[in-house]
Amino acid sequence: MTRQIAIIGAGMAGLAAARRFNDAGHAVTLFDKSRGLGGRMATRRAGALQFDHGAQYFTARGERFRELVDGWLAGGQVGEWDNGSYVGTPGMSAPARALAAGCSIVAGSQVTALHRDDAGWTIHDAEGPVATPGNGSFAAAILAVPAPQAIPLAATAGIAWSPMQQASYAPCWALMLAFDKSLDLPSDRMRPEHAAIGWIARDSSKPARSRETETVVVHATPDWSRANLEDSPDDVAPRLLAAFRDLSGIAAKPGFLAAHRWRYALVERTAGQPFLWDETIALSACGDWCLGPRVEAAFESGDALAREMMAKLA
């Protein structure tokens, strides 16, 4: 029997669940506040420039995810960046687009509430029920967003999951830089011991990226990001650039400079279980906050949830 499934959040966890439901013949609708797919597996484009300003790479340790990555490698959606580290090609969101194939996508939709009656689930935004086919008759709804965002959505459905309450994230400010000439960096990827900077990547060294311009992504440390969390990107960018120059000794002026805030970047404390699922009302939740701060952990959470739900819904 074909069922209609609503998934709020089109990051790796939501997409993993969507893939399993879609492969089983169910009708999946993905809702996401962003215009693109992939959550923090994102690539910012500025003209001819591109920056992987969120997740920098991912690994594949488990058998199920390893098989999926092998398929992406064969299909050209993924390339290997250094030994055992993978990136989407030509951008980080390429695997997300592959997982979403066959699903209905409602992009740019900030979901604010979920309501359920005898006909099924209705997904609301600030203006009311979202205008998309099937809304009002979803057999099940999945919250696949960061725990702090999922908590108020679950509350609109009358649910308060205590494991979700314990999950927590560190924020991260990301700095994007582009230079006309190659930089004298000691490595393509660095984790310096620095008060402000926790990561530096030569983005242009990744597979299927342009080498015409030197692009660099810098991630601030959790402590620095917390201390400056509510500052504007225009204020943060020059301060992080100064820290980058102080750390690297590179004085070259970037041709492009921008900062992006990830409010929920790195899972610090997990829910301690693969997913949450209230079978009585067919509402569930998944994400990296369930198992840990890795792309594969988000996949495993969404994939395990979908397997459990399909068994119960059957």
What are 198-208's pLDDT values in tens digits?
999 999 999 99
Statement to judge: residues 33 and 177 lie in one domain: no
Statement to judge: residues 110 and 226 lie in one domain: no
Statement to judge: residues 53 and 179 lie in one domain: yes
Statement to judge: residues 133 and 258 lie in one domain: no
How many domains does the structure of the chain reveal? 2
Per-residue model confidence (pLDDT) at position 313? 78
Per-residue model confidence (pLDDT) at position 171? 98
Statement to judge: residues 146 and 252 lie in one domain: no
Statement to judge: residues 85 and 234 lie in one domain: yes
Statement to judge: residues 82 and 99 lie in one domain: no
Range of the domain at 176: 44-92+168-269
Section 124-136 average pLDDT: 96
Statement to judge: residues 180 and 258 lie in one domain: yes
Statement to judge: residues 74 and 123 lie in one domain: no
Asked if pLDDT for residue 44 goes beyond 80, the answer is yes
Given pLDDT bands bounded at 50, 70 and 90, which one contains residue 312? confident
Statement to judge: residues 84 and 124 lie in one domain: no
CATH code, domain carrying 82: 3.90.660.10
Statement to judge: residues 148 and 11 lie in one domain: yes
Statement to judge: residues 261 and 279 lie in one domain: no
Per-residue model confidence (pLDDT) at position 137? 97
Q: Please state the three-class secondary structure of the chain as a single string.
A: CCCEEEEECCCHHHHHHHHHHHHCCCEEEEECCCCCCCCCCCCEEECCEEECCCCCCECCCCHHHHHHHHHHHHHCCEEECCCCCEEECCCCCHHHHHHCCCCEEECCCCCCEEEEECCEEEEEECCEECCCCCCCCECEEEECCCHHHHHHHHHHCCCCCHHHHHCEEEEEEEEEEEECCCCCCCCCEECCCCCCEEEEEEHHHCCCCCCCCEEEEEEECHHHHHHCCCCCHHHHHHHHHHHHHHHHCCCCCCCEEEEEEEEEEEEEECCCCCCEEECCCCEEECCHHHHCCCHHHHHHHHHHHHHHHHHHHC
- Digit-coded pLDDT (tens) for 213-257: 999 999 999 999 999 999 999 999 999 999 999 999 999 999 999
Section 56-72 average pLDDT: 96
Given pLDDT bands bounded at 50, 70 and 90, which one contains residue 46? very high
Per-residue model confidence (pLDDT) at position 97? 96
CATH code, domain carrying 130: 3.50.50.60
